[in-house]
């Protein structure tokens, strides 16, 4: 069983945004798992869920013109 701290943080973010008159656009959110522990399989970690929508998990993404990958290569 995996720690649910990340999901709890995501739930808090959604609550904070709602309390401050904002909405989270789940169409623009991606999840990238970076883990160097060989015993952990990223496929076994449940995806984040925001407002009832599973967040898309990616292995690379582009941030400010720089590509970031899950193995940080």
d(CA 24, CA 26): 6
CB 37 within 8 A of CB 44: no
**Mean pLDDT in residue range 8-27:** 93
Domain count, the chain: 1
- Pairing of the two strands 30-32 and 60-63: unpaired
pLDDT in the model for residue 12: 93
pLDDT in the model for residue 4: 67
13 is in which domain, residue-wise?
A: 5-69
pLDDT in the model for residue 15: 94
Q: What is the pTM of this model?
A: 0.69
Residue-wise pLDDT for 26-72, tens only, equals 888 899 888 787 777 777 788 889 988 999 999 898 889 998 888 78
pLDDT in the model for residue 1: 46
Reading the block at residue 45, the tokens are 């970690």
């Amino acid at each position: 069983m995996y720690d649910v701290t990340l999901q709890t943080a995501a739930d808090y973010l959604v609550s904070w945004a709602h309390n401050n008159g904002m909405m989270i656009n789940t169409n623009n959110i991606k999840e990238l798992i970076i883990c160097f522990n060989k015993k952990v399989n990223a496929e076994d970690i449940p995806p984040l869920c925001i407002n009832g929508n599973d967040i898309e998990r990616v292995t690379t993404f582009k941030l400010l013109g720089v590509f970031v990958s899950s193995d940080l290569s």
